[in-house]
Structure 1
Amino acid sequence: MRAAGRSVRARLRDRIAASDPGLLRLTAGLRTVGAIALTLAVLALLGADVHLLVAGAMAAMVATFAIREKQLGAQAVTLALGLPVALVSVTLGAVLNARLYVGDVFFVVLIFCAVYGRRFGDRGTALGLIGFQVYFLSLFVGAEISSLPPLCGAIALAFCASAVLRFAVVPATPTGVLLRLRLAFRARLAQLVSAQLDLLDAGPDEMDKALEAVREGTARLHETAMMIQAQLEDGTPDESAARLVQRRIADAEIAAERLGLLLLTARSAERADTLTLHLPGAPAPSVGQLAVPDEATATLRRDVQALRALVLRAGSGDSGTALAHVRNRLLGYRDEENLPPAPAAVQDVFRGIGEAARSVLGLRIALDGPLDESDDTPATARSREELDAEDAAIDGGEEPAQEQETGLRRPTTRAAVQVAVGSTLAIVGGELLSTQRWYWAVLTCWIVFLNTASTGEILVKGYRRLLGTVFGVVAGIVLAGLVGQHTWTAFALVLVLIFAMFYVAPLSYTLMSFFVTAMLGLLYTLLHTYSLDVLLLRVEETALGAACGVIAAALVLPVRTDRRTNELLGTVLDRLAEVTEAAVGQLSGGAADELLDRARDLDQALADLRAATQPLTHPVTPLRARRHTARYVVALLETCAYHARTLAATAELLPTHPSIAADPRLRGAAGRTVRNIETIAARVADEHAAARVETGPSIASLLGSDAGTPRYGRITDRVLRHLERLDEAVVGLARPLGVPMAEPRA
């Protein structure tokens, strides 16, 4: 029973870790709710009235979510600086509340300074956010000069409660976050292997659903790998340890994605296209039952299940003989040991399982240190030797300095000007709608500019906020009717809604807006200012604020969605060319380079592009053809990134792997691919560029590869396959991007 209980707890832990990598959302929600609850408890003991309770709750929420630094020391400094900023802001709010024009002008100046402060990093962003939100708080509770002393005391208490929760009750150190992210990576890797097992067993009618699950699992695994990359510098003791974890995470991600492609190929009538794993909604290739003996099918299914068990047990402290036996059997496939009689495509799956098992072994050694080697087979010993040699070859490198834009071209300055203009419009329009609640329009205008960089992104965010607000008003009406004048019941529901708001914020902006509006309905009830007209006015002010934000973004220093996506597309292509050229150069015998760092730069640039294309791929966009084109281009780029990432990982093995040798011919054979990437980038930057994309013989024929070379067992063959797929994907980019094709060379 105890073993069964541990199994259930482990499954529940893995499920939670996979759904919330690093428990970042859970931590943010608990910390914010705890700070608010502590503030309310102390204020209640002191006999504070409802206005102070509401002000303290809002201040505690602001003091908690505004701080974004990773290190606890930096968080403490920002929180300490934030308190005087908050006190000055609420004092000015109380003083200027009765002075109509002066107060409005100051509010606009404050908004400009708060947004401009983003250029100074996380601390500048936090202090600007605190200044704006506390000024808004003073307007919300109707602060007056006579009520300043108790109000300032409530705010100071809120900051102290936030500090207690942040540093004592729910601390989140970089090392702890990284540890939880590693658990999430393992859980999501196991989920991806489970989806691949379903793909293996899926019938023709279930294939599309199984393939979509593999796509989603691959994307979620990549998302977690990127989150780990962001935490490595602060969460590991030294640079070498960070680079070791980075390499092992990259190896595991590549091996898992490759295994999915091999499984899809084994189920298909022909070799599966990598694009199928990256294009949402792409139909699965025609499939049938595996044309292999029943014994081989059963063995394949058993080994995929064994790989999943190996992933789940990695890092659990279990080093028993059974686990070692499973690991040794799977690693043996890398050396052609015990391969069952089957077609070549199916045998490739077994080899892919062996490569995935090697990546899990490397990940476990990197994260947990040396393991017991007493049960190792020769194949396992060779894998350990390769991993040890790779680890010894790791050293640090320095990040090149990036050029910063100046003046109005700097994003923070441009956004500050835009939001100041939009807020001015929102103040004027909001005053016309309501002389008491006009600040809701300003708040919406402010919020739609947060974490956006183009007019299209602001339009989508404004639409989502308005949609969430409309449904939140309905929920607020229902909750206000149920709660009535029960103060502590209302505060309990407020805490629940705040937790839900923070927990869903990274997943759905619409849901977050829904919970915010429902919470505000309860706060109005507590302040005895609730009415249906007030909630309807909130919808009107929200719509007005979103419209003012869009107008300001469209007319003042506009950044069109096309321009933004073209800039990011050019960055992705530049990074792709850099990774490909550096990887091929190293595989050709050139000098070693920081390939995995370059590959992660490519992944980050691609993530930025994917986010920027959301206005183009949004379901309600009227430009259907444009939406399909944007999705297709992003999927092609993800395919290119996968092949480039794999080439980079293979090239990094060159100095230590006995089966990889440099081939000088690769540089010449892959030169066309690099030139094509640069040609497309030039065309994106200047539509009048005259260069054309080259086509011609395959990479293998340019290299003069022998037809008798085994399809597997020679790393060169795998490198060639990735180069050819990359070349095909790059040529495929030319058509949707309107790049002309050159006549094939003889």
Structure 2
Amino acid sequence: MPGPSLFHRKAVVSDLRLNLLGSDPGMVRLRTACRVLMTVVAVCSALFLLHYWYPMPAAAYAMAMITALQGAVAIKDTTAEARAVTRLYAALSAFTAIAAMSLVEHSLLYVNILLLIVIFLAVYARRFGTRWQGVGLFTFMCSVVGAFVKAPDTDLGDIAIALTLSGVIAHFVRNFVMPERPAHDFRIILDIAVSLSRKLHHTIEQKSTSKWTHVEVQQVLMLEHRARDAILLCESYLPLDAAASSHSELSTMAVQLFDLHLALESAVATALHFNGQNDAETSRNLGRTLETLADSLSSVEQAATRMPATFPAISATSASGKITFFPASGGWLKDSVFRQAVQVTFASAIAMAGGLALSPDRWFWAVMTAFLIFTNTQSRGDVAVKGLNRALGTGLGICVGIGLAVLVHGQIEWTLPLVAISIFAAFYLISISYSAMTFFITITLCLVYGLIGEFTPELLVLRLEETAIGAAAGIFVSLAVLPLGTSQQSSSAIEHFLKSLDQLMQAIIASQGQAERTAIMAAANALDKSRADILTAIGSMRSVWNLGMAQAGTRRILGRSYTLAHSARLLARHFRDSPPSDQDIIRLQAIRTALANLATNGQNMAGRSRVADIARLDQLPFDTQSDQAVANAFDLITHVLVQMQPANQEG
């Protein structure tokens, strides 16, 4: 019979596995890092073998390596066919830019002008969707390398071979070695979501009669956050448009996941509200919410047994609206893509001038920094935070990289494994920490320079200086040229969130049957997505670089948007199965009227309100099933909307 130590070891291993998978549900980061590493290794191996029969110039090898990285991460279409087309467009676009530069490679001025044109077009291409955003980034990286190596026109044939080889290998790795398997990946993520939810249920049940410490509260909140992220990721895998027509199993699963999400939040809210209380009423309330959570888990597991073996294909085209080539007449400066294209071009020009003044050979580091810190940013605060993170990661990476390069001293048996580890770590952490990604990329460069015999501390210090120039140029331009403040961006996201809340209220009012039930679910999911947009918009305000009073406003935005979203989900859950009564419709209309007033007169979700602040996690409606919970949800939504009125702000 196994001893206690064996059971303890199994429990430790199980908890470790759950923590690892919970931090990366679906293993998205792991898969990305593995793809990048496998693509780089495969391209390097192919170039090494090809070198014996067909040696190519250094420019071709440089292009193959940079496109190996870009081909693994920049191409984000949803189907293999779409990715193949995007790779073709990217290769043709990059080759055209490189060929144009080769014709004027004798003139640095002409090369720089061409590069600035490429930069503007690469950013402007983002208005045409994911495909052209990838093509733009791919072309920019190749153009920067082309401007650095100054490849003559005699090298163009070899560069074309390198681009083709890299693209074919990246496509093969992505689609055949490590392909997407939506149904399989969904089941893995669902298992993680269920396991995390059960662990949360067990933790709350164990602690129901004792006072929780601050550390225990934070652990429960972290567990809830990971479980909620896993549930939302599960929902993103479900092709709900197809489910609404011919795949009722997928539609049922979407409903059960929605209920689990609500039950999870309510269980945590109840546990925190009654923390340390041990009376009969507390036990009944907590018991009801835990029972609801257990029932939701069972329903999800039952729905999982009826899921189809494969999911319907998700269309690669977006239905978000008509794409226009140019902004509306008179709206050029208000167009977000055109505005950012102008900003990035100005920042790159300044970085180019500063970089050339510092070094006529390594100026491209400054230009790359100025371009990349604008990627996936929405406001000047985002750009500033990203620029500071890149400079920080580069500085720390140089310190560690110099030490490692000196230790291994160019020995290939030590250098190659360290390079592989650094590349893997960089792209595993890219979605978590930009500074960490930059840190490991810098270490990779240090090791590679040591391997090819070009390592000097002065060269790496120059990289830091060029990075600082690029970051400073980007931050300056984001503040001085067509600036968009974080508060403006967050206000826009909040307005979209409130509009989504209004659409959910409208869908509930109109609910009379199965078709309206689908509309309620769609509106509730849209509300969750719009709240995620708020979190993205205020990202820089939550950064460690932000030491101002904005942190307090950010906490109020998080608390109030959470309260509105949770209460709205509770209403959607209740009225999904039974149409609202006349009295309910009156209250729903009152909420819509309040939302209309905020849209007309303005709102302040971040402000300190004179109305008592009850929008806290431990004061949300607990029981998701009772009529009292519905009444509480109505009251909370109304209360938060009153708090947001400009007339009720302090000062």
Q: Check if 1:210 corresponds to 2:216.
A: yes
**Cα drift, residue 453 of structure 1:** 1.0
Q: Is the 8 A contact 1:195 1:217 kept in 2?
A: no
Structure 1 residues 345-390: Cα deviation after superposition (integer angstroms, max 9, x where no partner): 321222222222222232123222199xxxxxxxxxxxxxxxxxxx
In the TM superposition, residue 130 of structure 1 has moved relative to its aligned partner by: 1.2
Q: Comparing 485-494 with 117-126, which one deviates more in the overlay?
A: 485-494
Alignment of 1:606-621 (within 5 A): 606-621=531-546
Give the superposition deviation at 1:146: 4.4
Deviations 1:439-472 (A, max 9, x none): 1111011111101111111111111111111101
- 1:722 alignment partner AA: A
Question: Given that residues 449 and 458 in structure 1 are in contact (C-alpha distance below 8 angstroms), is that contact kept between their aligned partners in structure 2?
Answer: yes
Query: Number of aligned pairs?
Result: 614
Q: Distance in 2 between matches of 1:129 and 1:525?
A: 28
User: CA separation in 2, counterparts of 1:32 and 1:558?
Assistant: 35
Preserved CA contact (<8 Å) 2:249 2:306: no
> In structure 1, what is the Cα distance between the partners aligned to 2:192 and 2:351?
43
**Inter-partner Cα distance in structure 2 for 1:96 and 1:520:** 29
AA aligned opposite 1:627 = Q
Task: Please give the secondary structure, in 2, of the residue aligned with 1:223.
Answer: helix
Question: Which of the numbers 709, 726, 737 marks the counterpart of 2:637?
Answer: 726
Aligned equivalents of 1:399 and 1:153: distance in 2? 37
Deviations 1:580-634 (A, max 9, x none): 354366499996561121122122111111222123233332422x321221122
Matched with 2:138 is 130
Instruction: Decide whether aligned partners of structure 1 residues 212 and 731 sit closer, same or farther in structure 2, where only a CA change above 3 A counts.
Output: farther
Cα distance change on mapping 1:66 and 1:668 into 2, 3 Å: same
Q: Which residue of 2 aligns with 1:426?
A: 351
Match of 2:255 in 1: 247
How far apart, CA to CA, are the structure 1 residues paired with 2:636 and 2:568?
A: 10
Establish whether residue 221 from structure 1 lines up as the match of residue 145 from structure 2: no
Instruction: Describe the shift of the 1:189–1:137 C-alpha distance in structure 2 as closer, same or farther (beyond 3 A).
Output: farther
Structure 2 counterparts to residues 509-588 of structure 1, below 5 A: 509-583=434-508, 586=511
Deviations 1:557-597, CA, capped at 9 Å, x for gaps: 22122211111121122222332354366499996561121
Equivalent pairs: percent with the same residue? Answer: 24
For 1:21, the aligned partner's letter is P
Counterpart among 528, 532, 550 of residue 603 in structure 1: 528
Distance 1:177 1:86, change over 3 A: farther
Counterpart of 1:394?
Answer: none
Q: 1:402 to 1:106 in 2, by over 3 A?
A: closer
Correspondence for 1:353: 290
Deviation at 1:81, TM superposition (A): 3.0
Q: Deviations over 1:458-498 (max 9, x none)?
A: 11111111111110111221122123233464333222111
Specify which of 62, 72, 79 is matched with residue 71 of structure 1: 79
The structural deviation recorded for 1:101 is: 0.6
Residues 440/560 of structure 1: CA separation in 2 closer, same or farther (3 Å cut): same
**2:577 maps to 1:666:** no
Contact 1:573 1:677 in 2 (8 A): yes
Distance 2:537 2:97 in 1: 34
Deviations 1:312-332 (A, max 9, x none): xxxxxxxxxxxxxxxxxxxxx
- 1:88-127 matches, cutoff 5 A: 88-127=96-135
**Per-residue Cα deviation, 1:201-243 (whole angstroms, up to 9, x for no partner):** 653xx43222222222333333333333333228977564443
Residue of structure 2 aligned with 1:33, choices 11, 31, 37: 37
Q: What is the alpha-carbon distance in structure 2 between the residues aligned to residue 722 and residue 430 of structure 1?
A: 57
Gap change, CA 1:157 and 1:452, over 3 Å in 2: same
**2:646 aligned with 1:640, yes or no?**
no
Q: C-alpha distance in 2, partners of 1:151/1:370? A: 48
| 1:36–1:399 CA distance, 2 compared to 1 (3 A) | closer
Indicate whether 1:481 and 2:418 are aligned. no
Residue 694 (structure 1) shift = 10
What letter matches 1:168 in structure 2?
Answer: F
Distance 1:714 1:455, change over 3 A: closer
Candidates 229, 233, 237, aligned match of 1:231 = 237
- 1:699-720 Cα deviation digits (max 9, x unpaired): xxxxxxxxxxxx9897322211
Q: SS of 2:602's equivalent?
A: helix
Deviates more, 1:477-486 or 1:439-448: 477-486
TM-score w.r.t. length of structure 1: 0.75
Q: CA deviation at 1:685?
A: 6.3
Q: Distance in 1 between matches of 2:71 and 2:514?
A: 54
Report the Cα distance in structure 2 between the residues aligned to 1:589 and 1:81, rounded to whole angstroms: 44
Q: Where do 1:274-293 residues align within 5 Å?
A: 287-288=276-277, 290-291=278-279
Q: Deviations over 1:400-429 (max 9, x none)?
A: 858986452332222111111111111111
Q: Classify the secondary structure of the residue corresponding to 2:546.
A: coil
Work out which of the residue numbers 573, 593, 606 in structure 2 matches 1:649.
573
CA distance in 1, matches of 2:470, 2:634: 50
User: In 2, Cα distance between the equivalents of 1:487 and 1:367?
Assistant: 49
The structural deviation recorded for 1:551 is 2.1
Sort the Cα spacing of 1:53 and 1:400 in 2 relative to 1 into closer, same or farther, 3 A: closer
Shift of 1:520: 1.6
Tell me the amino acid that sits aligned with residue 484 of structure 1: H
Structure 1: how far apart are the matches of 2:37 and 2:611?
A: 59
CA contact (8 A) 1:36 1:56 kept: no
Question: Residue type matched to 1:525 in 2?
Answer: G
RMSD: 3.5
* CA distance in structure 1 between the aligned counterparts of 2:269 and 2:611, rounded to whole angstroms: 27
Q: Is 1:46 the equivalent of 2:50?
A: yes
Partner SS, residue 581 of structure 2: coil
Q: 1:266 aligns with which of 268, 274, 282?
A: 274
CA distance in 1, matches of 2:203, 2:632: 25
The residue that corresponds to 2:374 in the other structure is: 449
For the 8 Å contact 2:194–2:297, the answer to whether it is kept is no
In structure 2, C-alpha distance between the alignment counterparts of 1:64 and 1:554, rounded to whole Å: 33
The answer to whether residue 152 in structure 2 is matched with residue 178 in structure 1 is no
Which of 622, 628, 632 lines up with 1:717 in the alignment?
628
Letter matched to residue 498 of structure 2: L
Deviation at residue 674 of structure 1 after TM alignment: 3.6
| 1:459 to 1:593, Cα distance in 2 relative to 1, 3 A | same
Q: 1:591 to 1:243 in 2, by over 3 A?
A: closer
Is residue 508 from structure 1 mapped to residue 436 from structure 2 by the alignment?
A: no
CA distance in 2 between partners of 1:251 and 1:199 (Å): 24
Are residues 217 and 7 of structure 1, via their aligned partners in 2, closer, same or farther at CA, if it must alter by over 3 Å? closer
Q: Which amino acid aligns with 1:26?
A: L
Deviation larger for 606-615 or 234-243:
234-243
256, 279, 282: which one pairs with 2:264? 256
What is the rounded CA distance, in whole Å, between the counterparts of 1:227 and 1:64 in structure 2?
22
Contact 2:62–2:145 at 8 Å: present in 1 too?
Answer: no
Aligned equivalent of 2:548, options 594, 610, 623: 623
Deviates more, 1:415-424 or 1:716-725: 716-725
Deviation at 1:160, TM superposition (A): 2.1
Change (3 A) 1:430 1:194: farther
Q: Is the 8 A contact 2:63 2:163 kept in 1?
A: yes
Alpha-carbon distance in structure 2 between the residues aligned to 1:138 and 1:361: 58
CA 1:58/1:254 → structure 2, altered by over 3 Å: closer, same or farther? same
Contact 1:34–1:165, Cα closer than 8 Å, also in 2: yes
- Assess if the C-alpha contact under 8 Å between 1:617 and 1:627 holds in 2: yes
